[in-house]
Chain A
Amino acid sequence: MIQDRSVGRYLFVAANYVILIATSLLCILPFVNLLAVSFSGSAAVSAGDVVFWPVDFTTKAYEFAMTGGKFLTSLWVSVQRVVLGTIVNLLLIVLTAYPLSKSSGKLAGRNWYMTFFIVTMLFNGGLIPTYLIVVKTGLIDSIWSLILPGALPVFSMIILMNFIRGLPEEIEESAIIDGASPMQILIRVLLPLLKPALATVGLFSIVGHWNSWFDGIIYMKNPANYPLQSYLQTLLMSF
């Protein structure tokens, strides 16, 4: 960008940094508090003495969580879930968003497809029938039960689709003239341009898979297969 060296600009930049730093601090303080609490003695915590620095420093809580090796097992399940789940999500997001970014002239039935997906954002059948499907498809108690039911995050797909629509059309047209197939266009031409958008929706998938816990408790028969958040949730509920 072109450099602007006026006094006003300097003032703006300074003020801007103050705002950004203040806001960021506001966002990380809860986490700092959490860390301080986790390293503090329980009586001090119960009495509400801990703010941003541990009181009666101890690592007992961490030792407790680590005992029995369950922590590491469920961490590994979580890592698998995040990696596999994000790959599947991204794959389907890209494969869906690209055709839907076309106008209905270029993809017959495009609006029907779109409606088909959007309906699932607004309606859902509920816990029971979804569970029965997971049982019927034989996914129960396997890691795929945590991945396939939400394989296509429609929200992320729409974000990416809009991003593709924002790209200049000439890029694609020149590739078509060169005789590239849609798949080739998608992989060779579009994907490199979509990196920032993919990073964004990828982040959502990672966080989504990392944070979800209810499906783990419902679909896994044995706590040994719980992802970390489900395991932590069970610990939470028992105190």
Chain B
Amino acid sequence: MSKKKIALLLSLCMMLALPTACSNAPSASNGAGSASTGNEAADALEANPSDPAFSAYKEPVTIHTVTSEYPSAKYPQGDDITNNVWIRRYQEKYNIKVVTDWVSDEYDTKLNLAITSNDLPDVFKVNASQLQQLIEADMIMDLTEVFDKYASSRLKDYMKADTDSYESGMKDGKLYGIPQLHWGLIDQSDYIWIRNDWKEELGLKDPQSPEDIKNIALAFMEKHGGYGMAVDQTLDYLNVLAVSWNAHPDMWIKDSSGSIVYGSIQPEMKDALQAWAEWYKQGIIDPEFAIKDFSAMNADVVAGKVGLQPYYQWWGYNPGVDTITNLGKEAIFYPYLLRTANGEEAKQSISFANGSYIVAKKSFKHPEAAVKLLNDYAYIVDEGLEKESKETLSGLLDNDMAHVVGAFRVLNPTSDYEQYEAVSAALESGDSSGLTSSGMWQKYKNSIEFKENATPSAVGDYLQQGAPKSAFSLAKKIYDSGNYIKTELWGATPEALAAYGTTLDDILTEGFTKIIMGSESIDYFDTVVQNWKTAGGDAATQAVNEAYGNK
């Protein structure tokens, strides 16, 4: 969240004294008036029953849906989230009319209210707990057969690529929620990012162990003053490093006896904390990390005060763009894989990545219409570059139009992996014919743009894919070699755990922070773990084992 934009918006909103000469803006435009519920009693027959996945309807079919804004989307004049190039495509190509009942940015709250007042749209997206509640209340439809009959082979392949997510949308073997999936597990790797000009100036080698990271930090501090490493109060960024000690905080993992345990309370975590407490004492870890939020942490990176940051693959987008703008292209940070004390590449942590599910109201007559739209999205994204005109494709995908479709898409869970393969091959050979999706094109173009002109806005794509030391080049190695541990909690969080919200983790964060800052010794770790267990950790562990234990 950019503080600058907040500031401007708020100062704008304070301008009570603005001359109210804006009388040309009628208030209650009846745009979203209550459209009559489409009651197409007459069966709308399909034009071509032999191709159920893509055939159009003879008679128009209406789907009522709901959605939230996608504010960074730039619509052509007159369009908005309820009426845009996708909505027109559905109508023209399939004779499906998509009507948006409401648009809200408190989507979950508003949807819960709509559920309560029994005012459900036909097709919409829900989170994992809403999915369970709707199944329990018998308000949504079993989509097993519809999906089986109408989903394109491509869409089914998506599900095969991440069967765990697919099964998380099922209950008693029936598919109630189609998972919207994600861009790929390759996105999840952890890195240490190091400022390159500082590293080269001091002639430092790539880190081969946590000890090396410490020494790089000390060398930076000696030369440039200040502290060594930027992290934040949530410990999320410090925890990025934990894999170097074989610890997997915030993840449910199997222990040697085969039962599921919480990674944050294992002895490996104690080792990591002990090292971090030492680092804090030496002034390596930001002395003020305990009160720094995400943007305060990044502010010091952008200001050039620090040269090390544990971070994810998207460093280049934020804080990278601001860092390059502010300090110039020499101040670029590069990612390095985390290694254990004996120099091996650390086993990475992979968590459950599916966030939402597509569901249909029980009384809806044409659930297959929604599946057709999902097929269409997958077709456009994966095959559009070959089969559709450049203009059509650009209209559908560019300017963030790819993200305004709300419930009507499932992402390709291998897309980032394939994208990286194609982009890196094209950059190496200079032959761009292998770029088959518009996303590939963008990453390719920006990578070249940054290499040639050091344009700050392109540094995100460059560091993710195009750079000689790119984040995905490292992640691909991990992914290909299977050097990672997946969370055992692959699906909806058991209720007994969800009922604690973040309060169980808070106990750990609070205690660990004290240990790192030295106000408690490392032995306090066992006390913290005990507190966690009595506060509900034991009960939660049991619930997780009951739900996921025998898989």
Contact = CB atoms under 8 A, between A and B. Distances in A.
Chains A and B share a contact (CB less than 8 Å): yes
B25 interface: yes
Interface string B14-33: 10101010110111110110
29 contacts: A34-B7, A34-B10, A37-B7, A38-B4, A38-B7, A43-B322, A45-B4, A46-B2, A46-B319, A47-B302, A47-B303, A61-B7, A72-B22, A76-B25, A76-B26, A77-B27, A127-B113, A131-B116, A132-B117, A135-B119, A141-B32, A224-B29, A224-B31, A224-B32, A228-B13, A232-B10, A233-B105, A238-B69, A239-B6
Nearest to B77: A68
A223 interface: yes
Given A218-B109, A233-B105, A45 B3 contact: yes
Taking each of B14, B302, B319, which has the highest tally of chain A beta carbons within 10 Å of its own beta carbon?
Answer: B302
A46 B302 contact: yes
B101 interface: yes
A62 B71 CA distance: 16
A40 interface: yes
Contact of A143 (B9, B22, B27, B303): B27
Contacts of B26: 76
Contacts of B299: 46-48
B530 interface: no
B457 to A, nearest CB: 11
B36 interface: no
A61 B4 contact: yes
A234 interface: yes
B27 A225 contact: yes
Interface string B53-80: 0000000000000000101100000000
Given A38-B4, A222-B32, A224-B31, A44 B25 contact: no
A125 interface: no
A234 B326 contact: no
A225 B82 CA distance: 14
Interface of A: 31, 33-35, 37-40, 42-49, 61-62, 64-65, 69, 71-73, 75-77, 79-80, 127-128, 131-132, 135, 141-143, 210, 214, 217-218, 221-225, 228-229, 232-239
Interface in B383-415: none
Contact of A38 (B8, B32, B109, B113): B8
A221 B22 CA distance: 23
B102 interface: yes
B428 interface: no
B353 to A, nearest CB: 21
Contacts of B290: none
Contacts of B3: 37, 45-46
A69 to B, nearest CB: 7
Contacts of B29: 222, 224-225
Nearest to A63: B8
Contacts of A234: 69, 71, 105
Interface in B433-448: none
Contact of A37 (B8, B28, B112): B8
B257 interface: no
Contacts, number: 157
Contact of A135 (B6, B104, B117, B325): B117
B138 to A, nearest CB: 20
Contacts of B304: 47
Given A234-B105, A237-B105, A43 B302 contact: yes
A4 B304 CA distance: 60
Contacts of B303: 46-49
A33 B8 CA distance: 11
A42 B6 CA distance: 11
A45 B303 CA distance: 10
A40 B22 CA distance: 27
Contacts of A62: 8, 12
Chain A contact residues: helix, strand, loop or mixed: helix
A65 B319 CA distance: 23
Given A46-B322, A218-B113, A223-B103, 6 more contacts: A37-B3, A42-B325, A43-B326, A217-B104, A236-B1, A238-B105
B5 interface: yes
Contact of B9 (A39, A42, A75, A235): A235
Interface of B: 1-14, 16, 18, 20, 22-23, 25-29, 31-32, 69, 71-72, 82, 101-106, 109-110, 112-113, 116-117, 119, 295, 298-299, 302-304, 319, 322, 325-326
A221 B27 contact: no
B4 A42 contact: yes
Nearest to B304: A47
Nearest to B21: A72
Q: Which of B9, B113, B325, B326 has the most CB atoms of chain A within a 10 A radius of its CB?
A: B9
Nearest to A73: B25
Contacts of A224: 29, 31-32
Contacts of A218: 104, 106, 109-110, 113
Given A35-B11, A218-B110, A43 B325 contact: yes
Q: Which 5 A-B pairs have the closest CB atoms?
A: A38-B8, A61-B8, A37-B7, A222-B32, A47-B303
A222 B11 contact: no
B102 A221 contact: yes
The winner among A71, A224, A235 for most chain B CB atoms within 10 A is A224
Contacts of A31: 11, 14
B253 to A, nearest CB: 33
B257 to A, nearest CB: 44
Contacts of A75: 18, 22, 25
A128 B27 contact: no
Contacts of A73: 25, 27
A237 B325 CA distance: 24
A46 B8 contact: no
Contacts of B103: 221-223
Contacts of A44: 326
Contacts of B18: 75
Contacts of A239: 1-2, 5-6
B435 to A, nearest CB: 29
Given A45-B4, A75-B18, A239-B5, A217 B322 contact: no
A124 to B, nearest CB: 16
Q: Which of B3, B5, B23, B71 has the most CB of A within 10 A?
A: B5
Nearest to A35: B11
A238 to B, nearest CB: 4
B13 A236 contact: no
Nearest to A72: B22
B10 A217 contact: no
B49 to A, nearest CB: 37
B25 A72 contact: yes
Nearest to A225: B28
B86 to A, nearest CB: 18
Contacts of A42: 2, 4, 322, 325
A22 B123 CA distance: 58
